[in-house]
Amino acid sequence: MENQVPEIFSIIPHTHYVLLSTILFVVGLIGVMIRKNVIIMFMCIEIMLNAVNLMLTSTSAYYSHSGGQIMVFFTMAVAAAEVSVGLAIIVMIYKNLKTTNIDAFQKLKG
Amino acid sequence: MIDIIFYVLSALTIISATMVIVSKHPIRSILFLVLTFFLISAHYVLLNAQFLALVNIVVYAGAIMVLFLFVVMFLNLNEEVEKVRHYFPWFAAVISGGSLMLIITSALDKSVLLSPYPVKDYSIGLVENLGSVLYREYLLPMELSAVLFFIAMAGVMLLSRKEKVD
Amino acid sequence: MSIVVFKIIYISVIFGLSLFIAMYSTYAERKVAAFLQDRIGPNRAGPFGLLQPLADGLKLFFKEEFIPAKSDKMLFLMGPGFFMITALMTSAVIPFGSEITMDGVSYSLQGTDLNVGLLYIFGVVSLGVYGILIGGWASNNKFSLLGAIRAASQNISYELAMGLSIIALVMLSSSLSIKTIVDQQSGWHWNVFYQPLGFIIFLICAFAETNRAPFDLPECETELVGGFHTEFSSMKLGFYLFAEYINMFISSAILATLYFGGYHFPFVSDMDSSWLRTLLEAVVIFGKIFFFIFLFMWIRWTLPRFRFDQLMNLGWKVLIPLAVVNILLTGLFILLK
């Protein structure tokens, strides 16, 4: 498996992966713009991050540069840290406002 | 054969991501998101990025989503927050999202991509090679990510501490 | 025969064998418990009670199918399914013998030899949380939810120590593929002799991951009515209980493969490759698996149950530092060798 070309690189051009990542990114973006539930908005941000990860991995695989996959590794680490802190903040806000509708977070006063 | 697999996987990924943003119950959205992560891992396996495929499952589907499920289950957040669904914002969002997609794809279409692909080695996705690159050239970011996790942990513990009632 | 046909036959055999062994583990559990408690155990259904599992299965089929009122029907039906799937998925990478040679073509007795087999096992173990969480949530019952959340937090806490103890193993074998790890244990070089601390940590984590005593707080009857499977009846409950025994079988298989030499045994490995050798190797690995299943049951009926805070304390404050010390010692050992 080491140095023979995996089949996909000769059959599917790289632009297909670029298009797939862009569609996923836009789906996540639409989710963030539309949904009012804070948890679901947070999940749509994760979709966007994953779309970017897919683009980085596919570019790194097609051009044999490992920098892309290393970047994905760090992106995942940062996403994990961000989710934990974000969910802690959401839990705190829920305890104060008793709702997860983002329209309730409009005022800066508690 | 491989192109059929690619097209089916891509279609399933897009459908599953759409179901995440369309579902009314948060629990169903979370489960569809887990499915999306599985499908993206399958794409990684197609690209011979084996380590990333499994780490995607372990980190995203196995840890981050469990965290989401804990929060939704503990706080009982499964009720629908938006009782009445208006369709005009959806229409506007799809138009704006679609135009962003158009801009990105046309910009990338006009850019110069190397073709044919330079024939180098296709084993960069294997664990050994990825590990040696990570620990040789990118050692500083690795150690800094440990500091990042430490800071995140300290932040979460500070945020969730109960205030002492004096 | 082509390799696809062989793999299909192999997968069906392993699937059937897992179900069969899980079925008779229920019987063995009751017999072992009985002998440890100085009584006889089931001996009415068939000679020596050997048909007891069939009787239990039939009983479960005949019970009433009950779905709670306001629960999410689809998730309620899918919960046991998830648990069963993740329990069975791990057996894809475990080698149950070296190879079979038929008509000059040799087929390996392993579902697939992934380059990252060990990481695959770890991934499937971390997915095992979903079956419990979804089952507990879909029951629409506070006690089930509490039991499910306890089980899930126990699962993810002990997963960490398990991963850390596997790292020390990978440092020694410098490969993640299960076949390579097993082949490096030929003769007397079993990994348990090189990694005793890692083995003990992994064993404790295996107990906690399969929710077996002394870590079975999520499902004991005295504490939470029934834990996360309170509301399940008939074959859905059967799936949960059965999947727990399959989990036990798979954990024993992983322990035997990673630490106890897999299918290697000192004199069997030196024979020439033939049908007899493959058969003896299969006997060897199943012997080791049965030993570990017996160990699971023996410990269940010997030790008292952990309280939840003691359990968390053990997982986070004792096992993780020990696993890190293990990694340091292994690194030192490799450096000075």
CB contact under 8 A, A46 and B33: yes
pLDDT value at A1 more than 50 = no
Residue B39 lies in a domain: yes
Look at residue C337 in the predicted model and tell me its pLDDT. Answer: 84
| Average pLDDT of chain B, as a whole number | 87
Q: Are residues B21 and B72 in the same domain?
A: yes
Spell out the domain ranges in chain C. Answer: 65-336
* Residue B87 CA from chain centroid, whole number: 27
Do B8 and B65 belong to one domain?
A: yes
Best mutation target, B19, B41, B57, to test chain C (most C CBs within 10 A): B57
Over range C202-221, report the average pLDDT.
Answer: 83
Domain that holds residue B33: 1-79
Q: Distance from B164 to chain A by nearest Cα, in Å?
A: 16
For chain B, list the contacting chains (3+ Cβ pairs, <8 Å): A, C
- Is B94 within a domain? no
Segment C296-309 mean pLDDT = 88
Report the number of distinct structural domains present in chain B.
2
Cβ contact C114–B126 (<8 Å): no
Cis peptide before C304 (omega within 30 of 0): no
pTM to 2 decimal places: 0.91
* Most confident residue range from A20-24, B26-30, C78-82: A20-24
Domain boundary among B54, B79, B104: B79
Query: Which chain A residues are Cβ-neighbours of B76 within 8 angstroms?
Result: none
Both structure tokens of C53: 């599992």
Closest residue in B to C177 (Cα) is B127
- Same domain, yes or no: B63 and B128: no
Whether residues B93 and A33 touch (CB distance < 8 A) is answered with yes
For residue B84, being part of any structural domain is answered with no
Distance CA A55, CA A71 (A): 11
Q: Is the pLDDT of residue C51 over 90?
A: no
Q: Which fold has domain A36-110?
A: Helix Hairpins (1.10.287)
Of B50, B79, B108, the one marking the end of a domain is: B79
Share of chain C above pLDDT 90, in %: 32
Q: How far is A84 from chain B (nearest CA, A)?
A: 7
**B79, B111, B140 - which closes a domain:** B79
Q: Reply yes or no on whether the pLDDT at C261 is more than 80.
A: yes
pLDDT digits (tens, 9 = 90+) for A86-108: 999 999 888 888 888 888 877 76
Calculate the CA B147 to chain-centre distance. 23
> In chain C, which residues have their Cβ closer than 8 Å to the Cβ of B31?
75, 134
Lowest mean per-residue pLDDT among C214-218, C258-262, C280-284: C214-218
> What ipTM does this complex have?
0.90
Asked which of C89-93, C222-226, C311-315 is least confident by mean pLDDT, the reply is C222-226
- Pairwise pLDDT comparison (C49 vs A51), residue with the higher score: A51
Contact C262, C285 (CB under 8 A): yes
Residue B5 covered by a domain: yes
Convert the pLDDT of each residue in B124-147 to its tens digit: 888 888 889 999 999 999 999 999
Q: Kindly state the average pLDDT of the residues C100-119.
A: 84
Mean model confidence pLDDT for chain C: 87
Write the pLDDT tens digit of every residue in B74-115: 888 877 766 777 788 889 999 999 999 999 888 887 766 655
What percentage of chain A has pLDDT greater than the value 70?
Answer: 92
Q: Are B22 and B85 in contact (CB under 8 A)?
A: no
Q: Are residues B71 and B145 in the same domain?
A: no
Please indicate whether, in this complex, the C-beta atoms of A47 and B18 are within 8 angstroms of each other: no
Tokens of C283: 């006997």
